[in-house]
Chain A
Amino acid sequence: MGESLLSVRNVTKSFGEIEALSSVSLDIYEGEIIGLVGSNGAGKTTLLRLLSGVYRPSSGSITLGNGSPVSESRQYLGVVPESTGLYSRLTAWENIRYHSRLYGVSDEEAWKRTSFFATHLGMSDSLGRHTKGFSRGMRQKTALLRALAHAPRVLLLDEPTAGLDVTSARTVRQLVQDLGNQGGTVVYSTHQLAEAEQVCNRIVIIHNGDVRADGTPQELMEQTGTNRLEDAYVALTHDQARIRTEDSKPLSKWATWWRGLFTPAVPSEVIEDE
């Protein structure tokens, strides 16, 4: 096991009354591809946003290997959010260059790395095109190139294959595995267990804001006495998943009343059926 690059200690994150993550602790080591697995609303994205410094912990700490808080060391991180976050009126290269410049990387250096990985992803011919007409797969690849252009020590990927066609998803997974083989560190959030098993060498199962299990697929199965990872997951997350997250804050009393005026009641037969 390599050096600990990211250290999460007793991190709790609350949004008003909602506790999205409760007392999470984990270390991310150099050369690891760590999969954050959980259902929608489990807290994966919240944890990734905490790791990338977009959110601040309500309590606890997240530090880099050198002990500095993550919010002050973002240049070591490369982030691909779920939405990819590309500017449609800019070309793919302009999108990449914009972020690189904000990372303080020269255009030459960024271009060198971008062209290398673009070849790997089959994107070389598309770098000069505006991203407006890009498919979901091309957008995801561009976002990956953008996150890699400043040579980050840790790559944070939020659902990188969500909505991709089979070929694009395979290309993305292959790149992540290649990065891992070359000693890169990747945090890979997904709700697809099979994908996590295929790509990651360590899996962290998050459910309702808690870390339920942390280990290799084999360790998780042994821990739960099951033969398949899916059974292990079900055993670890048997309680019902919550539906409220930080994105669904309760409405104010006035807003609830107003919205209620224009919301038809559920037909009685539907209620009876249930």
Chain B
Amino acid sequence: MSNAARRIGTIAKKELVEFVRDWRTIVAILVIPLLMFPLLFILFPLLLASEAAEMENVVVEVIVQSNDLPNELGLLFNESNINITYEPLADHDFLSTPGIDEQRLRNSTVDSIVRLRGNGTVLEYSILYMSTSEQSQEARTRTFTVLSQWEQNETERRIVAAGLDPNETLDPLQWNGDFTESDVATQGEQAGMALSLFIPLVLAVWTFSSAIQPSIDMTAGERERGTLEALLGLPCSRMELLFGKWLAVATITGVGVLLQVAGLLFAIGYLASSDLISAPAISFTALVLLILAVLLFAIMVVAFELALAMRSHSVKEAGSILGPALLLILFPALFTQVINLDGIESFWFAIPVVNVLLALRELLMNRIVVSHIVIWLLSSTIYALGAALYAARQFRREDIVTSLS
């Protein structure tokens, strides 16, 4: 091993040892990404289901105001899981005008009020409720279900009375066969399509955001704590210093991203067991290219962040620059999600950040388009080199030895 490589290794190792000894950073950069998707995809739906079940058992109070309530509708109300109170309907120009009933909804003495008025062969209605109360919304939903049921029964009754077949009349266009058979895309391909909509976003945002803290700590942090000056007096070049620090940040970021993807795959595996989604079908070539794309992106992002952080005189200054810089990744990442990949123009694959994100989307869908690959590979390499040169320039600055403190 050459002396330079040994020094780079020594610098990177020391940075990693310092990182590992700070448990708060470990939690922020390694544990949280590992748990994020399992929590989001498994626990969150369970929580929602539990809340929904709880809401189903809630007793809701509904007032039915009508002077000519159809008997069948009255029966449906009585059979429903709603506590009904009947009241005569007062005179209203429009049934939806709350009038004096507004106060009863506001002080929660009642969850919703349904008004019904016969007008010839039509039954007019309105449901008064308060959208900011979950219980009131639940009362409205249950009331609407009962009204819809009555409407369907009444519609069918009238169709039959007119001598027609309700099925043919209401559903003249009908599917024939197994719906799932008609899609020629395999489940793996469908999964690739679904994952391509958010995995690139996650990878891009997390690569950038997880590199922020270590980048700042190893540059502006060292500058602020005064450890950089002692380091700059050692017989190692500034480029060795940059490479050593880059290696450490890239390792931390890489492990963070890998853990996040592992958490994501675990969550997908859990969902796959419940037939919601399958594992994506990706060829070996696509997988290799995918790793290459992420690697080039990481080289660029980490070098860029190290450069920006090294320009800063303090941790605070670096944080206030790198925090908003996340938008440089976030906006293109969100924008890329809506670009149609069918017949996409090649120039998109030359735009910084967008190129890698589009490449990831294509590769996750197992689409290997040689012209696109050549463009993003070349452009990403150029951008990564540009970022590395920019970082090198910052590390060569003489004023990096001074700090605000």
Nearest A residue to B19 via CB reads A89
Per-residue interface assignment for chain B, residues 209 to 226, with 1 indicating a CB less than 8 Å from any chain A CB and 0 otherwise = 000000000000000011
Nearest-Cβ distance from residue B230 to partner chain A, whole angstroms: 3
A190 contacts B by Cβ under 8 Å = no
Q: Which stretch from A4-12, A35-43, A52-60, A159-167 is at the chain B interface?
A: A52-60
The 8 Å CB contact of B233, one of A54, A56, A247, is: A54
Contacts of B226 in A (CB 8 A): 81-85
A74 lies within 8 A of B229 (CB): no
B11 lies within 8 A of A85 (CB): no
Nearest-Cβ distance from residue B89 to partner chain A, whole angstroms: 64
Given contact pairs A87-B18, A103-B234, A246 touches B227 in the complex (Cβ within 8 A): no
Contacts of B7 in A (CB 8 A): 101-102
State in angstroms the CA–CA spacing of A55 and B402 once bound together.
11
B10 contacts A by Cβ under 8 Å = yes
Per-residue interface assignment for chain A, residues 41 to 76, with 1 indicating a CB less than 8 Å from any chain B CB and 0 otherwise = 000000001001111100000000000000000110
Nearest A residue to B20 via CB reads A89
B399 lies within 8 A of A15 (CB): yes
Nearest B residue to A13 via CB reads B398
Given contact pairs A85-B228, A89-B22, A102-B10, A79 touches B233 in the complex (Cβ within 8 A): yes
Given contact pairs A54-B401, A89-B21, A89-B22, A102 touches B234 in the complex (Cβ within 8 A): yes
A196 contacts B by Cβ under 8 Å = no
Contact size class for A?
20 to 34
State in angstroms the CA–CA spacing of A98 and B280 once bound together.
45
Nearest A residue to B227 via CB reads A85
A90 lies within 8 A of B230 (CB): no
B14 contacts A by Cβ under 8 Å = yes
B172 contacts A by Cβ under 8 Å = no
State in angstroms the CA–CA spacing of A99 and B10 once bound together.
9
State in angstroms the CA–CA spacing of A88 and B225 once bound together.
10
A85 lies within 8 A of B229 (CB): yes
Contacts of A2 in B (CB 8 A): none
Within 8 A of B (CB), among A81-138: 81-90, 94, 98-99, 101-104
B231 contacts A by Cβ under 8 Å = yes
A102 lies within 8 A of B399 (CB): no
State in angstroms the CA–CA spacing of A103 and B22 once bound together.
27
Contacts of A156 in B (CB 8 A): 233
Nearest-Cβ distance from residue B45 to partner chain A, whole angstroms: 40
B3 contacts A by Cβ under 8 Å = yes
Nearest B residue to A146 via CB reads B230
A104 lies within 8 A of B21 (CB): no
Nearest-Cβ distance from residue A42 to partner chain B, whole angstroms: 16
A54 lies within 8 A of B229 (CB): yes
Nearest-Cβ distance from residue A225 to partner chain B, whole angstroms: 39
Contacts of B398 in A (CB 8 A): 15, 54-56
B227 lies within 8 A of A86 (CB): yes
B399 lies within 8 A of A104 (CB): no
Nearest B residue to A102 via CB reads B234
A143 contacts B by Cβ under 8 Å = yes
Nearest-Cβ distance from residue B91 to partner chain A, whole angstroms: 63
Nearest-Cβ distance from residue B62 to partner chain A, whole angstroms: 58
Contacts of A74 in B (CB 8 A): 233-235
Nearest B residue to A79 via CB reads B233
Per-residue interface assignment for chain B, residues 68 to 83, with 1 indicating a CB less than 8 Å from any chain A CB and 0 otherwise = 0000000000000000
B17 contacts A by Cβ under 8 Å = yes
Contacts of A89 in B (CB 8 A): 17-18, 21-22
B233 lies within 8 A of A246 (CB): no
Nearest-Cβ distance from residue B12 to partner chain A, whole angstroms: 12
A81 lies within 8 A of B230 (CB): yes
Contacts of A88 in B (CB 8 A): 225
B160 contacts A by Cβ under 8 Å = no
B236 contacts A by Cβ under 8 Å = yes
Given contact pairs A90-B14, A102-B7, A102-B10, A84 touches B230 in the complex (Cβ within 8 A): yes
Per-residue interface assignment for chain A, residues 200 to 227, with 1 indicating a CB less than 8 Å from any chain B CB and 0 otherwise = 0000000000000000000000000000
B233 lies within 8 A of A77 (CB): yes
B18 lies within 8 A of A104 (CB): no
Given contact pairs A56-B398, A89-B21, A103 touches B235 in the complex (Cβ within 8 A): yes
State in angstroms the CA–CA spacing of A104 and B3 once bound together.
8
Contacts of A99 in B (CB 8 A): 230, 234
State in angstroms the CA–CA spacing of A156 and B232 once bound together.
14
Contacts of B229 in A (CB 8 A): 49, 54, 81, 83, 85
Contacts of A101 in B (CB 8 A): 6-7, 10
Listed A/B pairs (25) with beta-carbon separation below 8 Å: A49-B401, A53-B233, A54-B229, A54-B232, A55-B398, A81-B230, A81-B233, A85-B226, A85-B227, A85-B228, A85-B229, A85-B230, A85-B231, A87-B18, A88-B225, A89-B18, A90-B14, A98-B14, A101-B10, A102-B10, A102-B11, A102-B236, A103-B234, A146-B230, A246-B399
Residues of A within 8 A of B (CB): 15, 49, 52-56, 74-75, 77, 79-90, 94, 98-99, 101-104, 143, 146, 156, 246-247
Question: Besides the contacts A246-B402, A247-B402, what 20 more A-B pairs have beta carbons closer than 8 Å?
Answer: A54-B232, A54-B401, A55-B401, A56-B398, A74-B235, A79-B233, A81-B233, A83-B227, A83-B230, A84-B226, A85-B226, A87-B14, A87-B227, A90-B14, A90-B17, A90-B18, A101-B6, A101-B10, A146-B230, A156-B233
> Which 10 A-B pairs have CB atoms at the shortest separation, nearest pair first?
A83-B226, A85-B230, A79-B233, A74-B235, A52-B233, A85-B227, A81-B229, A89-B21, A54-B232, A102-B234
